[in-house]
């Protein structure tokens, strides 16, 4: 798990939703910005993975952004935003293992054929016979 929080920049804005006059006065919503291409923590392959998997969060200038306004506290929202963006990037870096194709065993094939035969006989017994 890589902590690249030193490369993050923050913008604050007024949150929407509940909070009374606090919403109108205090900028508690935090938007975290990170320039993916300028990162020193990741190599080119990792940056390509991040750009590919998180392309819907990266704008035309190459900034990845995430807005958090869950709490009424700016500091809590900032910490939550850092936590979320690090988690998103770390999940994007995971490369799933390739699936190896396997063949069904003789027992599985025989079981499938036996089941088909039983169903066929059951349906055949429903027919009216003279």
* Domains contained in the chain, CATH given: 5-92 (3.30.160.20)
* pLDDT tens-digit series, residues 48-98: 988 898 889 888 888 888 888 888 888 898 899 989 998 998 898 888 899
**pLDDT the model gives residue 7:** 79
C-alpha span between 55 and 59 (Å, rounded): 8
Single pTM value for the model: 0.67
């Amino acid at each position: 798990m890589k902590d690249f929080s030193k490369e993050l920049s923050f913008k604050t804005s007024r949150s929407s939703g509940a909070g009374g006059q606090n919403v109108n006065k205090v900028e508690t919503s935090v938007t975290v910005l990170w320039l993916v291409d300028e990162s020193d923590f990741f190599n080119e392959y990792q940056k390509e993975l991040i750009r590919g998997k998180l392309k819907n969060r990266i704008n035309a200038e190459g900034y990845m952004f995430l807005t958090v306004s869950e709490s009424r506290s700016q500091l809590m929202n900032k910490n939550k935003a850092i936590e979320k963006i690090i988690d998103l990037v770390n999940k994007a870096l995971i490369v799933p293992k390739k699936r190896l194709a396997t063949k069904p065993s003789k027992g599985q094939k025989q079981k499938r054929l036996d089941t088909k035969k039983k169903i066929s006989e059951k349906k055949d017994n429903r027919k009216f016979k003279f």
